[in-house]
Structure 1
Amino acid sequence: MAPAPTLTLTRTLVELIRRQITEGAYAPGSRLPSIRALADQHGCAKNTIVNVFEELTAQGVVEPRRGSGFFVCATPPRPKEEEEGSLSRAMDVVWLMREQLKHDPGHLRLGDGFPPVEWLHDVRLDKFHQKVVRTGMGALFGYGSRFGYLPLRQHLVQKLAQHGIEAATSQIVLTHGANQALDIVIRNFIRPGDRVLVDEPGYYMLYGKLKLSGARIIGIPRHADGPDLEVLERELKRPGKAPLFFTQSLAHNPTASDTAPHKAHQILQLADRYDALIVENDAFADFKPATAPRIATLDQLRRTLYIGSFSKSVSAALRVGFIACHRDLASDLADIKMLVHMSSSEYCERTLDVILSDGHFSRHTARLRDRLQQATDAACRQLQQLGAELFCAPQQSMYLWARFPGFADAKPLAQALLAHHVVLAPGSIFHVEPEQAVPWSRFNVGLLSDPRFAAAMAGLLDRQA
């Protein structure tokens, strides 16, 4: 068996030039050699050097100047060994964030967190603008309510009722997507040094936010049927302040697992026994049946803070999410939102309210669920045909969590696929301590049908045989 692939040429050149800058070969503010000169020097294609400069620019090492080339930043980033403070502890999630914000059609981004754009084309935001204006032009020049646009909260009361969750409008706080909702919850509950429980593997953005807050993050292992209850109870019963437990019951990111109903009941029993709170993130609610079991349905928002979002099912650009919780807590969270962000976007909230008022939206989400089920089934078959092991095989999930034989760590696999312009999300990113070797990777089921992935994997596996 051949050894696992090492660094790609692009990554090698990135590290070489960065080291030269750190060691003073190129002074701060100086101009770097041209793309052509570096390509000739290293015997590679100019596109490789372009990719090198793009990565160095993203790292804050160099900066492009129109018509003049690339220059060393006046204050280059400090070497890793000099980094300190909470921001550096959160930087392990930034790579994947940068990758998801790139718009490069030349790369297949299998680690992307969003559905394919064509799945959302029938929700054309432009056609709703005139209806939004007719809802009250004068109000669009103000900050709006600290809780958010009331008619949309009324719609969300109905939507939660479909999940079996009873809530009043005073229990719902609108936010700039699920991520702002997480920010607000963390600001309210978490102080530096506090213990916080999370799914592991889990949502990398949550880990970054908790590291910024100075929290002590405790991973609760995720199984195919939900969290490890034995570990969860052991951590909940430790002396001191009862921790929050952040979890995704359905369409778990990244493992695609759903928490089994019996486990959901036991999680609530543990929360009652140890006076803990559960933060349930249901960002993919529109991709699952409305009646799928949720912890908040069993709990009715006593000990559960339920977070929802429309970034996946409507548009990431719209940025509308919400928190549903106990009435008194909702008022406190709305105050924090007002202090930190003044308000959420009433224009976005009015736009979403118009979309939800249109009968087209229910048909749109039904189509999304059908497309996702077909894509999930096809993706499971494709990965298994390539020899991958699946963590679980869900009926509907935007992601699959899989590993390939011969790769005890998914990072070399990700590096090898980059040479074929395929961007993977290696499993270490989704762990509390990202330095560890993790064989699993996250795959977007809507993108796996692209033939570039199968061709690249076939070549890698042939070389290993």
Structure 2
Amino acid sequence: MTNTPTLSRGGGESLTDQIVRTVAARIDERVLKSGSRMPSIRRFAESHGVSPFTVVAAYDKLVARGYLESRRGAGFFIRARATAPGPAAAPAPAVQEAQNGQNAQALDVVWLVRNMFCQMPHQQMPGTGVLPSEWLDASSVANALRAVARQNGDFLLNYGTPQGYLPLREQLQRKLAELEIGAAPEQFVTTAGVTQALDVVAREFTRPGDTILVDDPAWFLMFGSFAALGARVIGVPRLPDGPDLARLAELAALHKPKLYVINSVLHNPSSTSLSAAKAYQVLRLAAEHDFMIVEDDIYCDLHPGSTVQPATRLAALDQLQRVIYLSGFSKTMAANLRVGFIATSPELARRLADRKMLQTLTTSDIGERAVHRILSEGAYRKHAERMRARLDGLRARTVRQMERVGLTVPVAPPAGMFVWVDTGRDTNALAERAMAQGILLAPGSLFSPSQLPSTFMRLNVAAMQDPAIWRFLEKALSAGS
């Protein structure tokens, strides 16, 4: 059976439980279809080198959990399972219009995010959006948490500060000053990552029916979040040096957007950056059409700096008048700390802090204190340099290997972890084939608010080191679509 991986005999999990877990996951992911017949017990046992008793026990567990049904004399079949309402919101009107009555895509944003959180080896997740855990500085995080725990214990038991831990906001003031962005502590609001920051800002500025412009392609998770608020999410074509300005002007005049969300530096998924010339034009269009710009700079610390490579931040040009700046530390410090922040005008910061309180009261004071300690001790800068150097050592070699296996790289990025590649075929189908072999890809359809089929996909150079990934890509691309 090709939809189950090689079983491990060296771990703590029994062979029976490995079969149950893997088959259940394939059914949940719709790789194994309802009504399909499972291999016979003898055939499964022979192909995986296990005893028939192991397979019987696994099949019985899957029957008990509602994944399989046993038909006397015919074998085991995948049970048709009721589909529970998922957490994803319905597509925004713009998405519905783009689909033109077509069936929804088999793969969606929830599919990708769910599988990113599966217990897969990270090296088999080239579609992931994070660095491998071994690249991060676990000892610094552990030391910071221990140091925080040794402080006066009252704060451990109480709420944090609605606008965020003041010493951290003071540290963020110094961090942004290095980027030539002036912001006093009262201009910051801490959040549970950039995800919450985007949600708080969108709730403040939009009402059902309002338009939010995003880059196309762009970070997929915000599409569903904005649509859940009733906003129309419309994509602006992203070029190597920033948005298509003519299209941005056209869409702004037509739809009167409230917000435009952009990665100026190390755009996700292409790792390209905004040019200075385009940055000025984006600000001009925002003033002309009266929309706010939300600058998501989550990959800030993976960029080597403007003295090494050009990097124009809209917030540095605008000084937080029409630009709302977002960033955080989930990509470079620890995703589990969930510490992000918003920088904006003092008046808007107060409003956003109030809105944050209506959602979550406060964010975790413990995490904010830990991040403050890591930043203030000075080792984080060296850690960021090591990450950038490690990515630099992999990127060019990995891009060359991508091209050797048949991928086209329209723009080879000079920094960052992502490469946006053209496969020449529908990457939804490619992702389904990869998932059947335990490899997670990120198909291009998920990065567009239209969700239409795409030949592009995002690859993470830090997660491309498993030879099995390259074998799959070479075989899949040489075989045709």
| TM bracket, shorter-chain basis | 0.7 to 0.9
Residue deviations 1:187-239 (CA, integer Å, cap 9, x gap):
11111111110001111101010111111111100111111110101111236
For 1:251-266, list aligned pairs within 5 A: 251-266=266-281
For 1:312-331, list aligned pairs within 5 A: 312-331=331-350
- Aligned counterpart in structure 1 of residue 389 of structure 2, from 370, 377, 382: 370
Deviation at 1:374, TM superposition (A): 1.7
Per the alignment, residue 71 of structure 1 pairs with: 66
Per the alignment, residue 212 of structure 2 pairs with: 196
- Aligned counterpart in structure 2 of residue 89 of structure 1, from 84, 88, 91: 91
Distance 2:398 2:333 in 1: 23
Distance 2:324 2:46 in 1: 51
Does the aligned pair in 2 maintain the 1:261–1:293 contact within 8 Å? yes
Q: Which amino acid aligns with 1:334?
A: A
Distance 2:382 2:443 in 1: 35
Distance 1:303 1:412 in 2: 41
Per the alignment, residue 302 of structure 1 pairs with: 321
| Pair 1:350-2:345 in alignment | no
Alpha-carbon spacing, 1:134–1:438, altered in 2? closer, same or farther (3 Å): same
Distance 1:330 1:140 in 2: 25
Distance 1:138 1:358 in 2: 23
Per the alignment, residue 142 of structure 2 pairs with: 126
Does the aligned pair in 2 maintain the 1:224–1:391 contact within 8 Å? no
Q: Which amino acid aligns with 1:433?
A: S
Per the alignment, residue 453 of structure 1 pairs with: 469
Please give the secondary structure, in 2, of the residue aligned with 1:87. coil
Please give the secondary structure, in 2, of the residue aligned with 1:280. strand
Does the aligned pair in 1 maintain the 2:123–2:464 contact within 8 Å? no
Does the aligned pair in 2 maintain the 1:188–1:333 contact within 8 Å? yes
Q: Which amino acid aligns with 1:417?
A: A
Please give the secondary structure, in 2, of the residue aligned with 1:89. coil
- Aligned counterpart in structure 2 of residue 285 of structure 1, from 267, 282, 300: 300
Gaps of 5+ in 1: 1-6, 22-36, 49-63
| Pair 1:421-2:431 in alignment | no
Residue deviations 1:280-324 (CA, integer Å, cap 9, x gap):
101111111344321111111010000001000100001000000
Distance 2:154 2:87 in 1: 45
- Aligned counterpart in structure 2 of residue 112 of structure 1, from 109, 121, 128: 128
Deviation at 1:15, TM superposition (A): 5.5
Distance 1:385 1:144 in 2: 52
Per the alignment, residue 400 of structure 1 pairs with: 419
| Pair 1:162-2:178 in alignment | yes
Please give the secondary structure, in 1, of the residue aligned with 2:172. helix
Does the aligned pair in 2 maintain the 1:86–1:213 contact within 8 Å? no
Q: Which amino acid aligns with 2:146?
A: Q
Distance 1:185 1:317 in 2: 22
Does the aligned pair in 1 maintain the 2:330–2:337 contact within 8 Å? yes
Residue deviations 1:331-379 (CA, integer Å, cap 9, x gap):
0000011111010000000000110111211111111111122222222
Distance 1:356 1:118 in 2: 20
Gaps of 5+ in 2: 5-22, 49-58, 68-78, 93-106
Does the aligned pair in 2 maintain the 1:249–1:280 contact within 8 Å? yes
Distance 1:16 1:264 in 2: 44
Please give the secondary structure, in 1, of the residue aligned with 2:326. strand
Distance 2:62 2:210 in 1: 51
Does the aligned pair in 2 maintain the 1:201–1:221 contact within 8 Å? yes
Per the alignment, residue 270 of structure 1 pairs with: 285
Alpha-carbon spacing, 1:321–1:13, altered in 2? closer, same or farther (3 Å): closer
Please give the secondary structure, in 2, of the residue aligned with 1:99. helix
Deviation at 1:136, TM superposition (A): 3.5
Distance 1:167 1:330 in 2: 11
Please give the secondary structure, in 1, of the residue aligned with 2:385. helix
Alpha-carbon spacing, 1:75–1:341, altered in 2? closer, same or farther (3 Å): farther
RMSD: 3.1
Moved more, 339-348 or 115-124: 115-124
Distance 1:103 1:386 in 2: 28
Alpha-carbon spacing, 1:47–1:103, altered in 2? closer, same or farther (3 Å): farther
Distance 1:306 1:199 in 2: 16
Distance 1:103 1:412 in 2: 23
Alpha-carbon spacing, 1:20–1:234, altered in 2? closer, same or farther (3 Å): same
Alpha-carbon spacing, 1:302–1:104, altered in 2? closer, same or farther (3 Å): same
Alpha-carbon spacing, 1:46–1:143, altered in 2? closer, same or farther (3 Å): farther
Per the alignment, residue 114 of structure 2 pairs with: 98
User: % of aligned pairs identical?
Assistant: 36
Per the alignment, residue 71 of structure 2 pairs with: none
Distance 1:106 1:136 in 2: 38
Residue deviations 1:87-146 (CA, integer Å, cap 9, x gap):
243893101110111122297111011011111045442222332134442222221211
Alpha-carbon spacing, 1:412–1:300, altered in 2? closer, same or farther (3 Å): same
State the TM-score, normalized to the length of structure 1: 0.83
Alpha-carbon spacing, 1:15–1:172, altered in 2? closer, same or farther (3 Å): closer
Distance 1:158 1:411 in 2: 44
Q: Which amino acid aligns with 2:65?
A: F
Deviation at 1:415, TM superposition (A): 2.4
Does the aligned pair in 1 maintain the 2:125–2:440 contact within 8 Å? yes
Alpha-carbon spacing, 1:206–1:65, altered in 2? closer, same or farther (3 Å): farther
Matched residue pairs, number? 421
Deviation at 1:386, TM superposition (A): 1.9
Alpha-carbon spacing, 1:121–1:42, altered in 2? closer, same or farther (3 Å): farther
Deviation at 1:38, TM superposition (A): 3.5
Residue deviations 1:228-263 (CA, integer Å, cap 9, x gap):
110101111236x54210110111111222111111
Q: Which amino acid aligns with 1:358?
A: E
Does the aligned pair in 1 maintain the 2:89–2:225 contact within 8 Å? no
Distance 2:190 2:60 in 1: 41
Distance 2:321 2:232 in 1: 25
Please give the secondary structure, in 2, of the residue aligned with 1:286. helix
| Pair 1:40-2:40 in alignment | yes
Does the aligned pair in 2 maintain the 1:255–1:391 contact within 8 Å? no
Deviation at 1:417, TM superposition (A): 2.5
| Pair 1:219-2:235 in alignment | yes
Alpha-carbon spacing, 1:412–1:44, altered in 2? closer, same or farther (3 Å): farther
Distance 2:135 2:175 in 1: 22
Per the alignment, residue 76 of structure 2 pairs with: none
